[in-house]
A and B are shown apart, each in its own frame.
Chain A
Amino acid sequence: MAKWTDFFGGFKLTLRHIGRPTVTNSYPKVKRPKQPRQHGRHVLNRYEDGMEKCIGCELCAGVCPANCINVRGLDNPIDHPVSPGERYGYTYEINYLRCIHCDLCVEACPTQAITESKMFEFSFTNRSDAIYTKRELLVDDQGQPQRLPWEDWRSGESDMTGGWMRATSPSGDASLEGVVQWTGDLGAGIRASEAGQSGEGNDAATGSKQIRNVFSRHLNPEDVPENLRGINLLVTKVQSLIPKRGN
């Protein structure tokens, strides 16, 4: 049964919203932190000794639903091999006018050569610029993605490339949970293993965050996670400042 005071409910709510933090921010100047599993622009990784990981097998091109990848392999020159093994990716092109950032190429890659950074804010003024070649995609000598002049990189966007696939279950095989299945990357070393649903996933290493924790300020009181309510929020904040043992 509606009471007559309900009429003032809207007034109360709007007034209360004045004190709340804004949901939006002043975008080009301030950016909301990217989610750890964000799908952005691709990078081609190197081994820790600087060798390229890509072996030119064209599995990524085969799996791509948007047909945006063009790869051609070539035999490694005997005197200065580009990748360990027989062949290397001679041509590697991604057309970003077609790419849908589904990350199937990342899943298909047998050597973890291609992963995705979190940077998606780039644009072109003509169609040929939209095709990234190996020169742009390959990480630099420090293992960091190249920051091209027309791309808007912010801190954290080049960390945890391929964070998405490290946070999901390891290709349907429960025995591979927590087992590192790949070699180290140049600059980053051996990345954290894939996490399954057993709750043993290393959130800190894969960069995962629960979306409830991220947006807890904007939730209704009953939906806020237990550890972020009232006094517990303070405890959680202090705990996060103390470095964990064995990490």
Chain B
Amino acid sequence: MNSFLASSDPLLNHGVTAVVLLIVAIKVFVGFAVLMASVIVMIWFERKAISDMQSRIGPQKWGPFGLLQTLADGIKLFFKEDLVPTQAERFVFKLAPYLVLIPALITFSIVPLGGTLTIGGHQVMLQVANPPIGILIMLAMSGISVYGVMLAGWSSGSKYPLISSIRASAQMISYEAALGMSIVTVVLVTGSLSTHDIVTSQAHGIWHWNLIRLGIVPFVVFLIAITAELNRPPFDVVEAENELVGGFHTEYSSLRFALFFLAEFMNTITMSAIMVTLFFGGPAGWIPPIAHFKWVFPIIWFVAKTTAFAFSYIWFRAALPRLRYDQLMDLGWKRLIPLSLGWMLIVAGFMVSLSWGLLVAAAVIFSYVVLDRAFRLGEARGKEGSSILPSIGERPLPGYILRRHTNGDNLNG
């Protein structure tokens, strides 16, 4: 057991003593506190940034620059009446917020926040945990958190949340594949699943960052897929306010609603951090030549990079209109999955040898041409009406069919 743990975390090299346990406990506590505090700052930052982009002032009443607005909102939600609809599936309804929140918390534990510290002879990595399965935890947790969204929508016993939950699961399936394959490219070049190894392999300068090492494509695919995975604009069909009232959390109030809200922003931060870890070298960056406090600078680099991505999410929200549901599916299945799959094959080919790489690249480009032709044919066929169904704009509405039935007319004639 010891040797298995030690392979990933040097803290556990010399047996598990009381001091080690204390350090682990402190790490867990600090990680939790950092995440909670950053959620408060993130919500404030999002509201302030988006109001700047819309020429508004934004929150300003509570605390300096409105920094405590989130806290005030939290207190307000805490004292609201806690409702459970009569049609709701009570147990699942109460379980769902935690199914969203806890994965969001766990995912953050694998993010390396900085380098390594030596405390009392113990090597302490500045990340809550470094399990050998590493990045797979993030995929697993995002898989679980969709259960939270899905069950919340289903158990509400209400129509719009149900639609939202169906959308959530469909969206998750379509983007999980592209997401996974862009992670696979990172894992291929690193040769390890552990986030610590992924970061250290990028530590030797900007040319070693996976962003450049893998070409820009996996990063772009990851960015788009993760935005969809987070249900953030422009992919927020799950909680499209103008279509679905509030989406899966329509029937939620009080603290349970706050938990959904918390988890959503927590996920935003965590995924920014994961993106920095996978493609931007995590805490890697220039360290000034000073004697003490060298360990601070990796943390500063990490925070700076993560903030940049957090801002980019806000920027997406301000700049891009929401995708229609079919556009969302088109982008996922027809563009991102072929793109990430092809790129993964090319990266794998070049890792074997140059000639294999070129061969695979040629095959991928050829298959893209075939695929593109297939898509075009499919679209043209839908418009020509050679399908047995009437073409899309001309299908009779249910009311029309009903009227024809009640008039006694033949439906096909």
Tell which of B49, B57, B320 touches A25, judged by Cβ atoms closer than 8 Å.
Answer: B57
Query: How far, in angstroms, from A23 to B53 measured CA to CA in the complex?
Result: 11
Query: How far, in angstroms, from A119 to B201 measured CA to CA in the complex?
Result: 68
Tell which of A11, A15, A17 touches B54, judged by Cβ atoms closer than 8 Å.
Answer: A17
CB distance from A15 to the nearest CB of B (A): 7
CB distance from A198 to the nearest CB of B (A): 38
A-B contacts counted at CB < 8 A amount to 35
In the complex the two chains form, is A24's CB within 8 Å of B53's CB? no
In the complex the two chains form, is A14's CB within 8 Å of B53's CB? yes
CB-CB contacts of B46-57 with A at 8 A, as 1s and 0s?
000101111111
A210 close to chain B: CB less than 8 A: no
Query: How far, in angstroms, from A218 to B54 measured CA to CA in the complex?
Result: 12
In the complex the two chains form, is B55's CB within 8 Å of A21's CB? yes
In the complex the two chains form, is A26's CB within 8 Å of B57's CB? yes
| Contact residues in B for A15 (Cβ distance below 8 Å) | 53, 315
CB distance from A7 to the nearest CB of B (A): 9
Residues of A within 8 A of B (CB): 10-11, 13-15, 17-18, 20-26, 218
> Would A17 and B52 be within 8 Å (CB), given that A10-B320, A22-B57, A26-B57 are in contact?
yes
B60 close to chain A: CB less than 8 A: yes
Which B residues from 32 to 63 make CB contacts under 8 A with A? Answer: 49, 51-57, 60
> Would A17 and B57 be within 8 Å (CB), given that A10-B319, A10-B320, A11-B315 are in contact?
no
B88 close to chain A: CB less than 8 A: no
In the complex the two chains form, is A18's CB within 8 Å of B60's CB? no
B20 close to chain A: CB less than 8 A: no
| Contact residues in B for A218 (Cβ distance below 8 Å) | 55
B206 close to chain A: CB less than 8 A: no
Residues of B within 8 A of A (CB): 49, 51-57, 60, 315, 318-320
In the complex the two chains form, is B55's CB within 8 Å of A14's CB? no
Q: A17-B55, A24-B55 are in contact. List 12 more A-B contacts (CB 8 A).
A: A10-B319, A11-B319, A15-B53, A15-B315, A17-B52, A18-B49, A18-B53, A21-B55, A22-B52, A24-B56, A24-B57, A218-B55
CB distance from B58 to the nearest CB of A (A): 9
Chain B's closest residue to A30 (CB) is B57
| Contact residues in A for B55 (Cβ distance below 8 Å) | 17, 20-24, 218
Chain B's closest residue to A16 (CB) is B53
| Contact residues in A for B49 (Cβ distance below 8 Å) | 18
| Contact residues in A for B315 (Cβ distance below 8 Å) | 11, 14-15
In the complex the two chains form, is B53's CB within 8 Å of A17's CB? yes
Chain B's closest residue to A17 (CB) is B53
Chain A's closest residue to B320 (CB) is A10
11 contacts between A and B (CB under 8 A): A14-B319, A15-B315, A17-B53, A17-B55, A18-B53, A23-B55, A23-B56, A24-B56, A24-B57, A26-B57, A218-B55
Chain B's closest residue to A23 (CB) is B55
Chain B's closest residue to A19 (CB) is B52
